[in-house]
């Protein structure tokens, strides 16, 4: 409780399926190899949380984690 | 060439029971595999066959995912089911004949990293105007006709045009590409002594292109592969040739099939067509549902060592047909799995595979699919199947419509 909600991508699990940065380009970006990366430190606001959850539920590799 | 195929099909014994004798080239499977998979998933989730030297077909998402992620027990040395598991030009694991798709760890990631940058979103997105122009070139030729073929006049031309430019091959060679692809993917059930020699024109063609690129290096993927250094050394010529074949084969038939299936769906579902015409911003979401529902690509693995999988006694060198399309229809993994929902928001589909072999070309494939649909329905906002019986489907591990006769409606 209380701490910021953060999103992260586990680079060991991510295979660059690209769903996250297509669905939520403000939250995720891609690196030179096309793998997903989180923009900034991944802190989510009440405005971006829902979109981050949608991206999470579309990642075929289950590589996206949202933690408090 | 089609004579040889017809003959080889004619000699096949029809499948009586898919649980113990599956064959993915059986006409029933080719024409409509979904009821077969559904039945198997309920009765016998890991089907078996003695054909092709023995193999298994797991039908649930959980099983497909666990095999795709288990490179220890399942090797990618061969990913297309054929009769001969040790062809004469056989290259062993972990490299295989067409890196990285035929490679296992640890070599796999080396071969994969080499090509990933070329297919990352940045360079791929830059191709959009060119893809749009290519679509319109073919649409211009179709304009004004009441009857067109969505496959033969359109879908089949888009991917080869894009790939040949990427590799730096002359555009007038598109026809040769399609023959190569057909050879590798459609004619799987020929005896190897018939199949082998059919590959010679392809090797000759690639030799010619590689030689030409060595003499005249240019800014394309072929020159990049010839010059890129891994651990301070250039790639073996054989590795370059294998990767080029892979990019051709993996990039053409697959995307052509995906575009064709999307058009086939829209021809039969005017409500979805109207929705996309009126709400084009929905097309990227619909693309994911096209990919889930009509996933064109089934891969294969070989069992590395004897291994018991979900109670099945798999033997070394048994085939495993890796049905990403079947996984995409598993009701345990998707709500209303057997319904096409054009605006499905949550869609964790596996059309591009799972795990380390995830399709390198997925960004490109998605772009081609989106642009091809956008341009087609902008030009033809209303169309239907001209004759539903006339639609033919590609047999084998890449499935999509080939003949797709359409009537353009006013
Ligand atoms: C809709 C179109 C496409 C679909 C459905 C598709 C599907 C797949 C699948 C399922 C795999 C996984 C293979 C495995 O697990 O053994 C794969 C791998 C691959 N695909 Fe695609 N593909 C498509 C288009 C493309 C395009 C356009 C290209 C490139 C031009 C491409 C290049 C590759 C490569 C190089 C691999 C091997 C990756 C590796 O082994 O690490 N694909 N594709
Ligand atoms: S959707 Fe998942 S696998 Fe794909 S890039 Fe994002 S985190 Fe990686």
pLDDT digits (tens, 9 = 90+) for B222-251: 999 999 998 899 988 888 888 888 888 789
Q: Ligand 2 within 6 A of A27 CB? A: no
pLDDT tens digit sequence for B109-156: 998 999 999 999 999 999 999 999 999 999 999 999 999 999 999 999
Which of A17, A22, A30 shows the shortest C-beta gap to B358?
A17
- What's the pLDDT at B231? 85
Domains contained in chain A, number: 1
- What's the pLDDT at B201? 74
Tell me which of B70-74, B194-198, B348-352, B404-408 is least confident. B194-198
pLDDT tens digit sequence for B301-356: 999 999 999 999 999 999 999 999 999 999 999 999 999 999 999 999 999 999 99
Residue B359's nearest CA partner among B371, B368, B351 is B351
- The CATH number covering residue B224 comes to 1.10.630.10
Q: Which of B66, B121, B289 to mutate to test the interface with A (most CBs of A within 10 A)?
A: B121
Q: Ligand 1 within 6 A of B327 CB? A: no
Distance, CA of B104 to CA of B242 (rounded, Å): 15
Average pLDDT, chain B: 91
Do B169 and B206 form a contact (C-beta atoms < 8 A)?
A: no
Q: Alpha-carbon torsion B195, B198, B200, B206, what sign?
A: negative
Q: Can you give the pTM of this predicted structure? A: 0.93
Which of A21, A31, A58 shows the shortest C-beta gap to B346?
A58
- What's the pLDDT at B3? 42
- What's the pLDDT at B192? 62
In the sheet that holds A64-67, the strands lie side by side as A43-44, A5-9, A64-67
ipTM of the shown complex: 0.93
Domains contained in chain B, number: 1
Distance, CA of B381 to CA of B276 (rounded, Å): 9
Task: State which residues form the domain around B56.
Answer: 2-408
Q: What's the pLDDT band for B174 if we cut at 50, 70, 90? A: confident
Task: State which residues form the domain around A31.
Answer: 5-67
B66 Cβ contact partners less than 8 Å away, ≥ 6 residues apart: none
- What's the pLDDT at B190? 63
Q: Ligand 2 within 6 A of A19 CB? A: yes
pLDDT tens digit sequence for A9-35: 999 999 998 999 999 999 999 999 999
Q: Is B121 on the interface with A (CB under 8 A)?
A: yes
What percentage of chain B carries pLDDT values higher than 70? 92
Q: Cα angle at B289 between B298 and B136, to 5 degrees?
A: 95
Q: Is B154 on the interface with A (CB under 8 A)?
A: no
**Phi, psi angle pair for B352, to nearest 5°:** -95, 15
pLDDT tens digit sequence for B34-48: 999 999 999 999 999
- The CATH number covering residue A25 comes to 3.30.70.20
């Amino acid at each position: 409780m209380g701490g910021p909600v953060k999103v992260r991508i586990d680079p060991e699990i991510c295979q660059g399926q690209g769903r996250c940065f297509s669905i939520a380009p403000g939250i995720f970006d891609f690196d030179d190899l096309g793998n997903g990366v989180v923009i900034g430190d991944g802190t989510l606001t009440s405005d971006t949380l829902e979109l981050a959850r949608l991206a999470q539920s579309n990642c075929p590799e289950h590589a996206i984690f949202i933690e408090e | 060439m089609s004579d040889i195929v017809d003959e080889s099909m004619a000699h096949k014994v029809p499948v009586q029971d898919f649980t113990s004798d599956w064959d993915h080239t059986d006409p029933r499977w080719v024409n409509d595999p979904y009821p077969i998979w559904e039945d198997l998933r309920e009765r016998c989730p890991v089907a078996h066959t003695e054909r092709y030297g023995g193999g298994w077909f797991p039908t649930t998402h959980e099983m497909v995912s666990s095999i795709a992620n288990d490179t220890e027990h399942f090797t990618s040395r061969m990913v297309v089911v054929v009769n001969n598991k040790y062809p004469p030009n056989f290259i062993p694991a972990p490299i295989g004949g067409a890196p990285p798709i035929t490679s296992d760890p640890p070599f796999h990631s080396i071969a994969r990293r080499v090509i990933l940058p070329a297919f990352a979103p940045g360079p791929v997105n830059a191709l959009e105007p060119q893809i749009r122009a290519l679509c319109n070139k073919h649409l211009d030729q179709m304009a004004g006709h009441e009857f067109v073929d969505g496959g033969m006049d359109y879908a089949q031309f888009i991917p080869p045009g894009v790939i040949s430019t990427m590799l730096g091959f002359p555009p007038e060679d598109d026809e040769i590409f399609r023959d190569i692809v057909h050879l590798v993917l459609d004619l799987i059930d020929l005896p190897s002594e018939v199949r082998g020699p059919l590959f010679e024109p392809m090797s000759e063609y690639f030799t010619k292109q590689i030689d030409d690129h060595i003499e005249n290096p240019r800014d394309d993927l072929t020159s990049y592969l010839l010059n890129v250094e891994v651990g301070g050394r250039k790639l073996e010529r054989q590795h370059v040739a294998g990767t080029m074949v892979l990019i051709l084969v993996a990039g053409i038939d697959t995307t052509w099939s995906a575009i064709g299936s999307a058009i086939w769906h829209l021809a039969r579902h005017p409500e979805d067509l109207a929705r996309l015409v009126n709400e084009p911003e929905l097309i990227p979401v619909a693309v994911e549902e096209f990919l889930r529902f009509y996933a064109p690509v089934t891969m294969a693995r070989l069992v590395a060592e004897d291994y018991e999988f979900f109670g099945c006694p798999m033997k070394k060198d048994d085939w495993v047909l890796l049905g990403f399309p079947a996984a995409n229809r598993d009701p345990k993994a998707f709500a209303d799995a057997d319904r096409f929902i054009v605006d499905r928001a949550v869609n964790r589909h596996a059309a591009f595979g799972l795990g380390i072999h995830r399709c390198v070309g997925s960004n490109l494939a998605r772009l081609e699919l989106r642009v091809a649909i956008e341009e087609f329905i902008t030009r033809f906002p209303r169309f239907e199947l001209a004759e539903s019986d006339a639609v033919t489907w590609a047999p084998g591990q890449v499935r999509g419509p080939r003949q797709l006769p359409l009537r353009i409606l006013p």
